[in-house]
Amino acid sequence: MKSLRFVGSALDDLRNFPAEARRHAGFALDAIQRGMMPPDFKPMVTVGPGAYEVRIHVEGEWRVIYVAKFADAVYVLHAFPKRTQKTTKADIELAARRYRQIEE
């Protein structure tokens, strides 16, 4: 099982999700650590190769962007509430910047 590593403020941001949304995120991240895909996700090629967005539909809309392509760990790049139909440019840029940090 891969370890789970949070980049930047991702862990604090995830802790700010409502309890039920955190629980769903936890189950999804556990599945990812075990090499499976989460129940509801989509690729985030604009963030970087191998990046995905977990979609959580509990008490609002919540997103967790992660990358699991590296052998050592699953990196959680960004966790945030989704307030618009399209993921904001600021959220994508933040996740992409954190992706570049782990590649270095």
63-to-42, 90, 104 alpha-carbon distances in Å: 11, 14, 25
Distance (Å, whole) CA 104 – CA 100: 7
Q: In which residue are the tokens 């809309």 written?
A: 61
Q: What SS3 state is found at 65?
A: strand
CATH 3.30.2310.20 describes domain 3-103: yes
Q: For residue range 16-69, what is the model confidence (pLDDT) as tens digits?
A: 999 999 999 999 999 999 999 999 999 999 999 999 999 999 999 999 999 999
Split at pLDDT 50, 70, 90, the class of 104 is confident
**pTM of the shown model:** 0.96
What integer pLDDT is reported at residue 99 of this predicted model? 97
Distance (Å, whole) CA 37 – CA 13: 22
Helix (H) or strand (E) holding 24: helix 19-33
For residue 78, the one-letter residue type is H
Domain boundaries, the chain: 3-103
